[in-house]
Chains A and B, each alone.
Chain A
Amino acid sequence: MRAMGFEDARHFLSRTGFGGTPAEIRQLASKSRAQAVVEAIDGLKLQPHTKPPEWVHKPLPPRRKLKMLMGDKKAVQMLLRTRAIDLKTWWLDEMVQTPSALTERLTLFWHNHFVTSMQKVRRPVFLYQQNRMLREHAAGNFRDFVHAVSKDAAMILYLDTQQNRRKSPNENFARELMELFTLGEGAGYTERDIKEAARAFTGWSTQKLTGEFKFRRFQHDSGSKTVLGTTGDLSGGDVIEIILKRREFGPMIVEKLWAEFITTPIPTEQRRKLVNGFRRDFEIRPLVSAILSSKEFWADANRGTRVKSPVEFVVGLVRVLGLRLENPKLMVKACRDLGQDVFSPPNVKGWKQGPAWIDASSLLRRQLIASRVRQLDSTAADDPAAWLGVPTAQVRSECARVLLPSPPVQTDSANLGQYELGELLLDPVFQLA
């Protein structure tokens, strides 16, 4: 097996994670591409690597009692706000600490697919539970995944399923299930299918305190429904099965996952193959594996062509440079300022990926953050030569090779050391993965 070399290793680590440290890149460089893919996939984790905030294991008393205990509504709001920030900090820190960056990238991918937001759900613990659910299924079976999502407390609250009652059906979840989660907009279903599907999910609700799924039998419409041509006393679960058997199912997920890793479009033949495989067994793991093994993934046309998301940018800075943050909450603020407040996507469609991440305001903010990084303690700043693992004379060229996917466009790299590191972080090329 042929060693892939430095450039390939750098590319792989930045696209499947948040970028590699010089040591990580060098270590991977001696392996083959195939080996890199296998190890990344085998390394996927079902459990988080770091400990979540203590409070996730202790359900809060009901809202009214809580208000009584804490004195007033404001105190309760403060508590929930603090917990929300705790949770965001925990996840971003998990992304920094984890040995499996791909797990986090996939979890974030699904967070942006099966979207829910703290803004509406308001109960941080439900978003924690959902995060655990997302990571368990992130590379699992998509069919199980959709069933789990449909019973997830945060989702039930976010898409108003708890208000979906026999006498007043709410179509929100049924609509997004077809439009955004599985088939794609208008792909082989009608408004009538949405209305009928909504009836099947009536009575689906959640335990307000624990977040456990609750089926309220008397709110459920057990009459006959017709969804996508199938008639019967369909349950919500039946509807999911019907949807996943449609011939329209597959392409949207395959294309979206492809675009997460590869910026060039998926070739038709490749698309057909991957969709067919995915439709057969709904397995996400082999799909990810195939995408990362494709020649398009490794092609020159797919190098340095992705605009880093704010999370990739911020977590990447911390991971790659070995930043020692006194207060990891700073990451939450940085990501929010740059437009990606984790656990609070803007709407049910999630964050817009790609070049949209960079506009005048966010570019200026990225530059500000990058320029402040110079003043922080980091492994990279302690001793650049040791960090890079090269003699001092090579620091200049090596630094650019680690930090940038292609040569700098604005850096006149005449000087050595930390100053230059800072310059590279301000280069437009640093915005890319």
Chain B
Amino acid sequence: MKRREFLQLSSLAGLTLLAPGTMWAMEKTHGRTLVLVELKGGNDGLNTVVPFEDPTYKRLRPNLALSKSEVIRLDKGPYLNATLNPLRPLWDEGHLAVVEGVGYPNPNRSHFRSIEIWETASDSNEYLHDGWLSSALPDGVGPLPGAMIAGAGEDGPLRGVSALTVESPQQLFRHGQRLRRVDVKTENPALAHVIQTQNDLVGSIASIQERVGPSKSPNGDFTKSSLGRGLQMTAQMLGAGVPLTVVKVQLSGFDTHAQQPKKHSRLLTDVGQNLAAFAKSLQTYGRWNEVVVATYSEFGRRVKENAGRGTDHGTAAPLFVLGGTVKGGVFGETPSLTDLDAGDLKFTTDYRRVYATLSKRWLGGESLGHQPLSFL
């Protein structure tokens, strides 16, 4: 959104709606939006982007290897789990990037610790607190409409940005009703700070309500999962002109230690369908060029299947980046299935290179000391 339009939005609501810092920040990110999709639990990368032609894949996964009818081949690209078929048009349009072998040195196989590493962009043995976006985002971004956790989930990569968790627009508006604007002058700096924070919040919510309230929820084929609801709400807000900068959504259940096939295909169906629906609604709104979506997960899974028709915690995995200005294709090297580290894939792309790309080439932030990739 251009500054002028943004000011119009402010004046529409007839209030001083947003802190000046937020406005400035929107200029800094050129009205661009980043949507992070957390696949919680450790997504099985090998059954997502499938090394279908590698005999080792079938050898190490006698029960879990996908069959010919369970994969699709992207045009001049990799095999995907067939449940991701809705993403095919995006690939064909050149809007889908597959980043291969994403991970980090000395991988940690604990959910808790590994997601913390991913969220804070730390080394394996480094303990950081704030999410990586707190340093990647230009100063002044957040809380709303700067940063939002759509649906549910921890703030994770947004820790330190003061992101609001919004379950639904209606819930946000209910919050708005509870909060009142306070017009009291005070010499007490602590009280002034609380009042200012509250008034900013009231203003942000009012401006969002002004826009989103009369708008319709996008039609698209969204599911009722947290991912579906989160993306649907995000699409609606973006369509209504709410200048979101960063949004996080999540889908849980990827920790498939047992009876993986059914669970995993249900999850990926949800991912494929909702991402496609999201892309479609933004295309309808004419905003697809201003949005980038990236998936991530704390780790991939062990190459060899376990005895319970499942897989255990692993290391590197592929991730997806999509958007109207994303350069489609495969980035990074596919990890070898034979040259393993204690049964796990060796990463080929440091996950912070993905962040560096999103930060530097999309949000106008720093490159976090890592070389960006060329999908943007």
A residues at B contact (CB < 8 Å)? 77, 117, 119-120, 263, 304-307, 346-347, 354-355, 358-364, 367-368, 371, 406, 409-410, 426, 428-429, 431-432
Closest to B128 in A: A347
Known contacts A77-B112, A371-B178: A307-B127 contact under CB 8 Å: no
Q: Which residues of B contact A431 (CB under 8 A)?
A: 190, 194
Closest to B155 in A: A361
Q: Which residues of B contact A307 (CB under 8 A)?
A: 190, 193-194
Apart from A359-B143, A359-B197, 9 more pairs, CB < 8 Å: A305-B188, A355-B189, A358-B194, A361-B155, A371-B178, A409-B186, A428-B182, A431-B190, A432-B190
CB interface residues, B 160-202, toward A, < 8 Å: 162-165, 175, 178-180, 182, 184, 186, 188-191, 193-195, 197-198, 200-201
Q: Which residues of B contact A429 (CB under 8 A)?
A: 191
Q: Which residues of B contact A368 (CB under 8 A)?
A: 175
Q: Which residues of B contact A358 (CB under 8 A)?
A: 193-194, 197
B110 contacts the other chain (Cβ, under 8 Å)?
yes
Q: Is A362 a contact partner of B162 (Cβ separation < 8 A)?
A: yes
Q: Is A361 a contact partner of B162 (Cβ separation < 8 A)?
A: yes
Q: Is A409 a contact partner of B195 (Cβ separation < 8 A)?
A: yes
Instruction: Give Cα A432–Cα B193 distance, bound, in whole angstroms.
Output: 11
A-B CB proximity, top 8 nearest: A346-B129, A360-B143, A359-B162, A428-B194, A355-B193, A409-B184, A361-B162, A360-B201
Closest to B165 in A: A361
B204 contacts the other chain (Cβ, under 8 Å)?
yes
Neighbour of A410 across the interface among B143, B182, B188, CB < 8 A? B182
Q: Is B189 a contact partner of A363 (Cβ separation < 8 A)?
A: no
Most buried by A among B142, B189, B190, B204: B190
B144 contacts the other chain (Cβ, under 8 Å)?
yes
What are 14 pairs between A and B in contact, CB < 8 Å? A304-B190, A305-B189, A307-B190, A307-B194, A361-B162, A361-B165, A363-B197, A367-B179, A409-B195, A410-B180, A428-B195, A429-B191, A432-B188, A432-B194
Most buried by B among A305, A347, A364, A368: A364
Q: Is B190 a contact partner of A409 (Cβ separation < 8 A)?
A: no
Q: Is B164 a contact partner of A367 (Cβ separation < 8 A)?
A: no
Instruction: Give Cα A355–Cα B200 distance, bound, in whole angstroms.
Output: 15
Q: Which residues of A contact B127 (CB under 8 A)?
A: 117, 119-120, 347
Known contacts A358-B193, A360-B143, A371-B178: A304-B164 contact under CB 8 Å: no
Closest to B19 in A: A360
A82 to chain B, nearest CB (A): 13
Q: Which residues of A contact B129 (CB under 8 A)?
A: 346-347
Closest to B164 in A: A361
CB-based A-B contact count at 8 angstroms? 86
Q: Which residues of A contact B155 (CB under 8 A)?
A: 361
Instruction: Give Cα A346–Cα B188 distance, bound, in whole angstroms.
Output: 28
Instruction: Give Cα A429–Cα B186 distance, bound, in whole angstroms.
Output: 11
Known contacts A77-B112, A428-B195: A364-B189 contact under CB 8 Å: no
Q: Encode contact with A along B111-149: 1 for CB under 8 Å, 0 otherwise.
A: 010001000000000011110000000000011100000
Instruction: Give Cα A318–Cα B165 distance, bound, in whole angstroms.
Output: 25
Closest to A362 in B: B162
Closest to B194 in A: A428
Known contacts A120-B127, A371-B178: A363-B188 contact under CB 8 Å: no
B172 to chain A, nearest CB (A): 9
Q: Which residues of B contact A363 (CB under 8 A)?
A: 194, 197-198, 201
Neighbour of A361 across the interface among B143, B188, B193, CB < 8 A? B143
Q: Which residues of A contact B193 (CB under 8 A)?
A: 307, 355, 358
Instruction: Give Cα A362–Cα B194 distance, bound, in whole angstroms.
Output: 11
Instruction: Give Cα A112–Cα B325 distance, bound, in whole angstroms.
Output: 46
Closest to A370 in B: B178
Neighbour of A304 across the interface among B128, B182, B191, B197, CB < 8 A? B191
B42 to chain A, nearest CB (A): 13
Q: Which residues of B contact A263 (CB under 8 A)?
A: 190
Closest to A426 in B: B178
A42 to chain B, nearest CB (A): 31
CB interface residues, B 57-91, toward A, < 8 Å: none
Instruction: Give Cα A429–Cα B194 distance, bound, in whole angstroms.
Output: 8
B133 to chain A, nearest CB (A): 14
Q: Which residues of A contact B189 (CB under 8 A)?
A: 305, 355
Instruction: Give Cα A428–Cα B200 distance, bound, in whole angstroms.
Output: 13
Closest to A431 in B: B194
Instruction: Give Cα A406–Cα B165 distance, bound, in whole angstroms.
Output: 31
Closest to B181 in A: A410
Most buried by A among B129, B142, B198: B198
A84 to chain B, nearest CB (A): 11
Neighbour of A428 across the interface among B116, B163, B175, B198, CB < 8 A? B198
Q: Is B178 a contact partner of A367 (Cβ separation < 8 A)?
A: yes
Q: Which residues of A contact B165 (CB under 8 A)?
A: 361
Known contacts A361-B162, A364-B164, A364-B201: A428-B191 contact under CB 8 Å: yes
Known contacts A360-B164, A361-B143: A409-B197 contact under CB 8 Å: no
Instruction: Give Cα A120–Cα B112 distance, bound, in whole angstroms.
Output: 12
Neighbour of A409 across the interface among B116, B143, B164, B191, CB < 8 A? B191
A427 to chain B, nearest CB (A): 9
B183 to chain A, nearest CB (A): 9
Instruction: Give Cα A63–Cα B175 distance, bound, in whole angstroms.
Output: 47
B314 to chain A, nearest CB (A): 14
A19 to chain B, nearest CB (A): 16
Q: Which residues of B contact A117 (CB under 8 A)?
A: 127
Known contacts A77-B112, A432-B190: A360-B204 contact under CB 8 Å: yes
Q: Which residues of A contact B198 (CB under 8 A)?
A: 363, 428
Closest to A119 in B: B127
Q: Is B179 a contact partner of A406 (Cβ separation < 8 A)?
A: no
Q: Which residues of A contact B130 (CB under 8 A)?
A: 346
Q: Which residues of B contact A406 (CB under 8 A)?
A: 188, 191
Q: Which residues of A contact B144 (CB under 8 A)?
A: 360
Q: Which residues of A contact B180 (CB under 8 A)?
A: 410
Instruction: Give Cα A349–Cα B200 distance, bound, in whole angstroms.
Output: 29
Q: Which residues of A contact B184 (CB under 8 A)?
A: 409-410
Q: Which residues of A contact B128 (CB under 8 A)?
A: 347
Q: Which residues of B contact A77 (CB under 8 A)?
A: 110, 112
Most buried by A among B144, B165, B180: B180
B106 to chain A, nearest CB (A): 16
A101 to chain B, nearest CB (A): 21
Instruction: Give Cα A406–Cα B197 distance, bound, in whole angstroms.
Output: 19
Instruction: Give Cα A360–Cα B200 distance, bound, in whole angstroms.
Output: 8
Q: Which residues of A contact B179 (CB under 8 A)?
A: 364, 367
Q: Which residues of A contact B197 (CB under 8 A)?
A: 358-360, 363
Q: Which residues of A contact B188 (CB under 8 A)?
A: 304-305, 406, 432
